[in-house]
């Protein structure tokens, strides 16, 4: 396998939404030209971090083939995820990429035992020909997340705690032995005391099975703890990305600085959480830098010029402060 082979590649991915009424509404770019890459040779955990409304879930849903991009391309193993697919190609896609959502209680039908949902996944993804055969897979996946089939079998989702049920949904995602798991705020509804167990489980699954993760969160502390690579999102754009230790120990973008400033101490990474104020629609539609209204380091031209995400060594940043540096890098 060539080193530059990509498991996942997003090329200038864009998604707009119409909000408000037809007459008085406006269009916002919830995801506004996102480009990123996950290599296939080395499993990695990529955190996508941003405050509420920054477009993280929209991005995750486009990767999971749940929401169609308005522009750009999502490539998995160099194949366009959004090209029409045969039934077999769809199954192959779902075997490669699996989701974990925020609310485990919404991920299971409350009227059926959770074990039925596990059987469904095993049979729909053609992992087994019969329930008896499926049971082997299911028991193994449950064991991989520290659960016992005998305890799970026949029980309804309402009988589980959030943390336990989220483990069941991780077991379900593991059934096809995917190469990528996209987890959208997977611990934000889990009891604080159990969050770390689930976060650690991701790292374990990465090591044991070579699964890559996209971990979507508004919580920079867990992102710091778990990820290899981090991408910071603001108003639909990635404003900074790179190795997590580099980005969070020496942030380049004023927004990353602001996020870190909201964490009392990165050493107390587990205790702290970030909730910033809600989004303002106008900021999505600024001509220049979307962070301009909140930026402590803004310059006059930032109002009119939209910064692009540009590489600076192993890292990338979208900020005009570095424009001179970028020119040097480019030449």
Ligand X SMILES: Nc1ncnc2c1ncn2[C@@H]1O[C@H](COP(=O)(O)OP(=O)(O)O)[C@@H](O)[C@H]1O
Q: What order do you get walking across the sheet with 6-19 strand by strand?
A: 26-39, 6-19, 71-76, 79-80
Query: Does residue 107 interact with Mg ion by CB under 5 A?
Result: no
Interacting residues with ligand X (CB under 6 A): 17, 19, 28, 30, 50, 52-58, 279
Which partner, Mg ion, ligand X, none, binds residue 19 by CB below 5 to 8 Å per kind?
ligand X
In the bound state with ligand X, the residue whose beta carbon lies nearer, of 28 and 134, is 28
Q: How far is CA 270 from CA 202, 206, 207, in A?
A: 16, 21, 22
Give least dist CB 57 to Mg ion, A: 3
Judge whether 13 and 35 are in contact, CB under 8 Å: yes
d(CA 198, CA 9): 26
d(CA 168, CA 159): 12
The tokens for 329 are: 């890098």
Dihedral pair phi/psi, residue 100, rounded to 5°? -135, 130
Query: Does residue 217 interact with Mg ion by CB under 5 A?
Result: no
Give least dist CB 57 to ligand X, A: 3
Which partner, Mg ion, ligand X, none, binds residue 176 by CB below 5 to 8 Å per kind?
none
Mask: binding to Mg ion, 299-328, rule CB under 5 A, as x and -? ------------------------------
Q: What is the DSSP letter of 42?
A: S
Judge whether 234 and 290 are in contact, CB under 8 Å: yes
In the bound state with Mg ion, the residue whose beta carbon lies nearer, of 147 and 198, is 198
Give least dist CB 302 to ligand X, A: 22
Instruction: Identify residues 34-63 at the interface with Mg ion (CB under 5 A).
Output: 56-57
Instruction: Name the one residue in this structure whose structure tokens are 């477009």.
Output: 55
Give least dist CB 28 to ligand X, A: 6
In the bound state with ligand X, the residue whose beta carbon lies nearer, of 1 and 24, is 24
Q: What is the DSSP letter of 248?
A: H
In the bound state with ligand X, the residue whose beta carbon lies nearer, of 53 and 176, is 53
Query: What is the SS3 assignment for 98?
Result: strand
In the bound state with ligand X, the residue whose beta carbon lies nearer, of 164 and 184, is 184
Give least dist CB 305 to ligand X, A: 24
d(CA 74, CA 78): 9
In the bound state with ligand X, the residue whose beta carbon lies nearer, of 62 and 175, is 62
Would you tell me which residues interact with Mg ion (CB under 5 A)?
A: 56-57
């Amino acid at each position: 396998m060539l080193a530059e082979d990509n498991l996942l590649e997003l090329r200038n991915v864009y998604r707009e939404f119409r909000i408000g009424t037809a007459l008085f509404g406006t269009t916002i770019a919830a995801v506004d030209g996102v480009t990123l890459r996950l290599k296939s040779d080395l499993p990695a955990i990529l955190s996508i971090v941003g405050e509420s409304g920054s477009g993280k879930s929209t991005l995750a849903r486009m990767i999971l083939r749940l929401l169609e991009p308005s522009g750009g391309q999502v490539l998995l193993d160099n194949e366009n995820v959004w090209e029409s697919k045969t039934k077999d190609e769809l199954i192959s896609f779902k075997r490669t990429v699996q989701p974990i959502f925020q609310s485990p209680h919404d991920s299971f039908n409350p009227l059926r035992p959770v074990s039925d949902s596990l059987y469904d996944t095993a049979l729909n993804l053609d992992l087994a020909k019969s329930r008896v055969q499926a049971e082997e897979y299911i028991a193994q996946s449950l064991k991989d997340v520290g659960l016992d089939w005998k305890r799970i079998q026949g029980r309804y989702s309402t009988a589980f705690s959030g943390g336990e049920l989220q483990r069941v949904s991780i077991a379900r995602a593991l059934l096809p032995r995917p190469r990528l798991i996209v987890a959208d705020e997977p611990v934000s509804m889990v009891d604080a005391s159990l969050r770390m167990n689930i976060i650690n489980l991701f790292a374990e699954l990465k090591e044991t099975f070579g699964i890559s993760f996209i971990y979507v969160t508004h919580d920079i502390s867990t992102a710091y703890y778990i990820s290899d690579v981090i991408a910071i999102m603001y108003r639909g754009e990635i404003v900074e990305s790179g190795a997590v230790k580099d980005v969070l120990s020496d942030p380049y973008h004023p927004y990353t600085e602001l996020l870190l400033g909201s964490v009392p101490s990165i050493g107390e990474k587990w205790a702290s959480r970030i909730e910033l104020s809600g989004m303002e629609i106008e900021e999505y539609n600024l001509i220049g830098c979307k962070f301009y209204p909140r930026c402590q380091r803004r310059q006059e031209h930032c109002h009119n010029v939209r910064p692009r995400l540009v590489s600076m060594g192993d890292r990338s940043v979208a900020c005009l402060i570095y424009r001179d540096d970028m020119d040097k890098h480019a030449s």
